[in-house]
Amino acid sequence: MEDIKKTAILIPCYNESKTIEKVIKDHQAVMPHAEIYVYDNNSSDGTDEIARNAGAIVRYEYRQGKGNVVRSMFRDIDADCYIMTDGDDTYPAEFALELEKQIYSERADMVIGDRLSSTYFTENKRPFHNIGNVLVRKLINVLFKAEVKDIMTGSRGFTKAFVKSFPVTSKGFEIETEMTIFALDNNFKIVEVPIDYRDRPEGSESKLNTYTDGYKVLRTIGTLFRDTKPYLFFSIISLMLLLIGGAFFVPILINYFETGTVAKYPTLIVITAMWIIAIISFFSGVILQVLKKQHRHNFERYLNMLNEIWRKEG
């Protein structure tokens, strides 16, 4: 008897009463075999009741923030394929089938619904969001030597191994960035599928704040860069400290050759302290890189253990 695969559609929601019914109905029509989960995040407009009446399984996450919702979804739901979408009707449901196909064909551990290669820049009416998406994409691709086209899309597909091994630490909208960096750092298979994007319908407002959430995303990138590439991160800090110290030291050295005396002793003391910190920073990076490599080995063993358990169960 052939195993029946279970697909779960995950929809995090916060005040999406104007669009959630359509999102659910569209996915039911395209993927009648899938279970649809709506996680309500303290909505005050009846989103949960509308979703329940539309046929979705409704659950609640009372800690505010999309990252908190995704954490609960990934912990609670057991499936073979996970399709995540937004409740604002910006991602057409028919593209979910292609995400599912990539997962079940074992071509990807995470499938990214790539908006930026299709209609995003013409449909999205928020220019700073467009600039932010491009900036984050270029920054991550440079830091991680990748070629990901859409870092912050909310349309994604995942395998069970990815979902159950992903340690969610973000609380808000920076969760998509964290997912992408986690996949890149741990060598998960990533496939991007171009999808259409349509702007929110009239009366539906975005919960994303361009400036505060943009700052959180950039902070997350910096933190994850430090944690995933400590040798490079601390080497850059060391180099900057050495160069700054050198810029102040050269005039003192020139003055010494000209006069035979050392001027600006306080500056010299500060320069010495900076160079000591630079050396400490460099060797901290070396030590942390060794620990990171050991963590990577342990993570691979953990994935192998999970796969072996699921193979025996299935």
Task: Convert the pLDDT of each residue in 29-84 to its tens digit.
Answer: 999 999 999 999 999 999 999 999 999 999 999 999 999 999 999 999 999 999 99
* CA nearest to 232, candidates 171, 298, 170, 285: 285
Distances, alpha carbon 275 to alpha carbons 26, 204, 247, in Å = 61, 54, 12
Residues 6+ apart with CB under 8 A from 124: 130, 197, 199
Residues 6+ apart with CB under 8 A from 138: none
Number of residues written out for the chain: 314
Residue 120 has pLDDT above 90, yes or no: no
Q: How distant is the alpha carbon of residue 267 from its chain centre? A: 43
Per-domain residue ranges for the chain?
Answer: 7-228, 230-313
Q: What CATH fold (topology level) applies to the domain 7-228? A: Spore Coat Polysaccharide Biosynthesis Protein SpsA; Chain A (3.90.550)
Rounded-to-integer distance, Cα 24 and Cα 12, Å: 12
Mean pLDDT is lowest, of 68-77, 85-94, 160-169, 204-213, for 204-213
Task: Enter the pTM of the model.
Answer: 0.84
Distances, alpha carbon 130 to alpha carbons 41, 112, 180, 195, 254, in Å = 26, 18, 18, 16, 50
Distances, alpha carbon 237 to alpha carbons 139, 247, 267, 274, in Å = 18, 15, 20, 11
Tokens of residue 263, six digits: 């001027």
146-166 pLDDT tens trace: 999 999 899 999 999 999 999
Q: What percent of the chain has pLDDT over 90?
A: 72
Mean pLDDT is lowest, of 34-38, 172-176, 186-190, 236-240, for 172-176
Residue 208 has pLDDT above 70, yes or no: no
Rounded-to-integer distance, Cα 262 and Cα 248, Å: 13
